[in-house]
């Protein structure tokens, strides 16, 4: 059965050193993360119990640690690592993770670069 409920955390900001260019690894830049978690929230609502759902404050801290942690070349890799953290959070069945890189080294005007992945618990 697929969960119909969701919890969304938008605009989580952290400084990381991800990218393919040496300057990105040296100088770093801000990354913005959005996650949508799919889960059944009925047990938490029935008992008004945080232990039956996702503590999104704690999850936010864990996600920031990943962004601030070991550098990777690709946003795809970073998004995968963030999705793994989300899927390890309590009753999460599916995670949609978007990583924004608004200061990507692109030589023409642009607004944002976003890589999104969807991962399900196996």
CB atoms within 10 A of CB 111: 7
Residue of 83, 108, 94 lying closest to 4 (CA atoms): 94
Let me know if 101 is a catalytic residue.
yes
Annotated active-site residue in 101, 104, 115, 122: 101
CB 5 within 8 A of CB 39: yes
Tokens of 36: 């949508």
- Give, as one character, the DSSP assignment of residue 19: S
Residues forming the active site: 101
């Amino acid at each position: 059965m697929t969960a119909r409920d969701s919890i969304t955390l938008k605009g989580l900001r952290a400084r990381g050193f991800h990218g393919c260019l040496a300057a990105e690894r040296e100088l770093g830049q801000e990354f913005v993360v959005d996650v949508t978690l799919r889960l059944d929230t009925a047990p938490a609502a029935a008992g008004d119990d945080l232990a039956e759902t996702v503590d999104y404050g704690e999850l936010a801290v864990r996600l920031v640690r990943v962004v601030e942690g070991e550098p990777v070349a690709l946003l795809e890799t970073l998004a995968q690592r963030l999705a793994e953290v989300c899927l390890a959070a309590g009753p999460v069945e599916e995670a949609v993770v978007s990583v924004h890189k608004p200061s990507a080294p692109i030589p023409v005007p642009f607004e944002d670069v976003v890589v999104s992945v969807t991962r399900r618990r196996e």
